[in-house]
Structure 1
Amino acid sequence: MEAETETREQLLEVVIEKMVYGGEGLARTPEGVLLMQGVLAGETVQALAGERHQGVRRAQVKQLLTSSPQRVVPQCAHYGQCGGCHYQHTSYEQQLELKKQILIECFERIGKLTQLNILPTISANPWQYRNRSRWQIMNDASGFAMGYHEHSSHQLCPVKECPISSPYLNATIEILRNGSGKELFPEGKTELEVFASDADRSGLATVWAFGPPPMGFGERLMRAVPGLESVCWINKSTKQRIGWGPGAITYHVGDYHFHIGHEAFFQVNRWLTAQMIEAVIGDIKGREVLDLYAGVGLFSLPLARRFERVTAVENDAEAAKNLQTNLGVVAQQANAVRKNVEQFLMTTDQRWDAVIADPPRLGMSAPVRENLLRVKPNKLVYVSCDPATLARDLKEFVGSSAYQIVSVQMIDQFPQTFHIETVVHLERRE
């Protein structure tokens, strides 16, 4: 009977205590914690609570009983169903404050880090900022549908437009929805990603599907979508890649030029790329710098103007290829290494003036942290897209008494969503 009580759905009236990482509001009940989307702190809601999982129950809001003064009308017609955005129901100023408080809470709770020098958040236009979108496509007898996954689901949410994506990406949606997509794409499910150039007038497209492409697919897609320079079809069954065009585009950030291939990672916010570089590099300079998880060289290339020697480490095949190309203009002072970061650090005893690290969402592995503490660079810049793993890693660097945190700065790369990008500068203690 106890198990039935724990899993039975309940209609509850609750007050939202606070927002937590993940875009959800937290409410407390005698039965435990409830988490739900689409709410704000201080609001009273009637919510349908579902099953308990690992001590937490998720709920769906059935009625908003009292609303926050920070609540606004979402700009997107698909908001609430589409899983891409989480904060469109509050003002942008409030979004920034929410993220700041969540970041501080993670630092205090996980990292035991307090009294930090938190710099003003770097932000820009919170709309039309995405230079890359990945759509789910269903083409069957009922028609052609293109969109994103629904919240916490693999169900397709068809969209007519996406207000956080660039005009070029929205034009692509319109072209494919209005007839071209039905003719171009095979029956069944596929995925399409388009990466738009910095000028937002051209791009490259990548398709993932179980099976080979229709005859002449790439040429036909490039004719249908103006400015599309390159197409790559990836067969998920065989891993075979079939390409049309050069296989990459050149993305300009100020006077830096980055060669970026179909599956190489690049920062998604087209308004903030230059500010991101400036926030990361700051005033650091010296003889030797190490750029870990270097990607296509977003930081490596600018670092070559500040340091006598740059070593950039990247393990992904396509990104490493692009990195080699991008560093060609500074080949005399830059070295691109295709290697796992753990393997690279375990085999070096070099003393670096500075290390830049931009790890994936999981953060640094234990061997990476241990080896950075062993080689002890004078300065360490940590770029993070997950506040929890960032706090965990910083706790080790600071707790060892090897480093002190100089500054923390949030860069809002993902407006309207819960995602938090943070740059932390650390210095070695003497």
Structure 2
Amino acid sequence: MSKVQLPVHKNETVTGTVLDLTYQGNGVVKVDHYPIFVPNTLPGEEVTVKVTKVTKNFAWGKLISIEKKSPDRIDDPNWAYLQTGIAPLGNLTYPAQLKFKQRQIQKLLEKAHLNLEVAETLGMDQPFGYRNKAQVPVRMVKGQPTTGFYKRGSHDLVPIEDFYIQDPAIDQTVLVVRDLLRKYQVPAYDEETHRGVIRTVMVRRGYYSHQVMVVLVTNGEHFPHVAEITREISERVPGIKSIVQNVNDKRTNVILGTKNHLLWGEPTIHDNLLGIDFTISPLSFYQVNPQQTERLYQTAIENAGLDGSQTVIDAYCGIGTISLAVAKHAKHVYGVEIVPAAIADAKQNAANNGIENATFVVGKAEEQFAKWQAEGLKPDVVIVDPPRKGLDAQLIEATGKMAPQKVIYVSCNPATLVRDLQRFAEQGYHVTKPIQPVDQFPQTTHVESVTVLERTEK
């Protein structure tokens, strides 16, 4: 069999016009319909590119020069942010980022032959410094512990002090910890040898409360100079409420281990979301952009059209963020989540806020839905906020059988959203309003959205 003749070869230089951006934020240049993905290029730009890798269906290229620049280009982006994936859209003006996210959903709908409208993306007034949580790797660079971020697709650390999308107070806290690790010569973890002490510095800071938690992830129980380091962090970090050692002695890319030792202060911090007080532990899942999370959930709750008489099910309820906000407007809320610790947090958060009309259950959402359906539970509204893989077909089927009037779909992945909308249509549910994108992660390619489905037949 003869080898397929590709239109480009490795190390070849080609010129062309960037036609589009992929969902990862790379520009697309085509040679005879064959795509070349080129980082740091934008639609409409005429570019010269060196081909770096060739496969049967596509190639990768490196930008050599821009002959015609996009009006949406930011001239001097911080290369470290683009290189590490901290801000892969850092070269694109913010209004253009919002359009890119709206278009991302629109294109997937068109591809699936779904004729649905997508509203303009709800953006932020200040699309930087928004993250309330940082997980920063520590590695030895030039003989000393250094904090930073990995280059995209690698484990090569790029030293970074200002992370741009993180709360600046968190960046300052990371530097305090890094300088103490240097002062006391605590060796950083080495992935190759599985030696060294400190693996990761995690910092959480309440957006409203300004309470700070520092979690020091160590490669085993041994932590030299832990008393001195703890004391100095407690003295030097404004708003510090909790310092925890998390032990992770496994050869893994998973950041946190399961064992925590409280070194100083409280085991948790608090923050507010939609007027509800949440308790946050080192292992709690809590949305990283509270301002936009409030807009996202407010949009979901408003579209549910609650007046206090409805029964609501919240699938993938986590620590109860949506459920507890909904409980104020509903007769009763049922939440399900597979992570036992999250359900324990949800119950605690309900108790702390005096919310008595919420029931939380540990289980796989699709299995619990089938159980509820068999028990004859009749929800008026179902809210789903699934992980990136979207909804299980069994859950959509069980929802169809329970026949709520409305389904509110909070999505973090447009591709699985589009697939699931087609499955809901088979159960008699159709989209009744423009899909509303919300920019939870400015400067990145991620897009969240709220879709309203109503039962129209069956």
Deviation at 1:249, TM superposition (A): 1.2
Q: Which amino acid aligns with 1:152?
A: G
Q: Which moved more, 1:236-245 or 1:296-305?
A: 236-245
Please give the alpha-carbon distance, in whole angstroms, between the structure 2 residues aligned to 1:330 and 1:427. Answer: 32
CA contact (8 A) 1:46 1:62 kept: yes
**Residue 202 of structure 1 pairs with residue 211 of structure 2:** yes
* Greater mean deviation of Cα atoms: 182-191 or 419-428: 182-191
CA distance in 2, matches of 1:232, 1:112: 51
CA distance in 2, matches of 1:309, 1:385: 26
CA contact (8 A) 2:286 2:319 kept: yes
Instruction: Report the CA distance between 1:181 and its aligned residue.
Output: 4.9
RMSD of aligned residue pairs (Cα, Å): 2.5
Contact 1:138 1:144 survives alignment (8 Å): yes
Q: Distance in 2 between matches of 1:173 and 1:311?
A: 39
TM-score of the aligned structures, taking structure 1 as reference length: 0.91
Alignment pair present for 1:257 and 2:289: no
**Matching residue's letter, 1:259:** T
Pairing 1:387-426 to 2, within 5 Å after superposition? 387-426=414-453
Q: Who is 2:371 aligned against?
A: 347
Give the structure with the higher percent strand.
1
CA contact (8 A) 1:140 1:188 kept: no
Q: More deviation in 212-221 or 343-352?
A: 212-221
How far apart in 1 are the matches of 2:62 and 2:241? 43
Q: Which amino acid is the alignment partner of residue 312 of structure 1? A: G
Q: Equivalent residue for 2:336?
A: 313
Where does residue 149 of structure 2 map in the other structure? 148
TM-score by length of 2: 0.86
How far, CA to CA, are the matches of 2:108 and 2:10 in structure 1?
32
* Stretch moving more, 308-317 or 277-286: 277-286
CA-to-aligned-CA distance 1:268-324 (integer Å, 9 cap, x gap):
113323222211101521321001111111111111111111111112133222111
1:64-123 deviation line (CA, Å, top 9, x unaligned)? 2221111113454623322211111121111111111111001221x4221326255243
Q: CA deviation at 1:151?
A: 1.9
State whether residues 261 and 319 of structure 1, in contact with CA within 8 Å, keep that contact through their aligned partners in structure 2: no
Is 2:350 aligned against 1:327?
yes
Q: Aligned-pair distance for 1:193?
A: 1.9
Partner residue in 1 for 2:195: none
Q: How much does 1:7 deviate?
A: 7.0
Partner of 1:227: 239
Partner of 1:365 in structure 2?
392
Give me the whole-angstrom Cα distance separating, in 2, the residues matched to 1:97 and 1:203. Answer: 35
Matched, 1:241 2:250: no
The separation in 2 between residues aligned to 1:54 and 1:265, in whole angstroms, is: 40
Structure 1: 5+ residue stretches without partners: none
| Structure 2 contact 148–158 (Cα < 8 Å) conserved | yes
Do the aligned residues in 2 keep the contact of 1:123 with 1:411 (CA within 8 Å)? no
**Counterpart amino acid of 1:99?**
K
- What SS does the aligned partner of 2:404 have? coil
Equivalent residue, structure 2, for 1:80: 82
Q: Which residue in the other structure is 2:254 paired with?
A: none
Identical counterparts, % of pairs: 25
CA distance in 2, matches of 1:223, 1:180: 15
Cα offset, 1:185, TM superposition: 4.3
Aligned to 1:19: 21
- Aligned residue pair count: 429
Cα displacement (A) at 1:177: 4.2
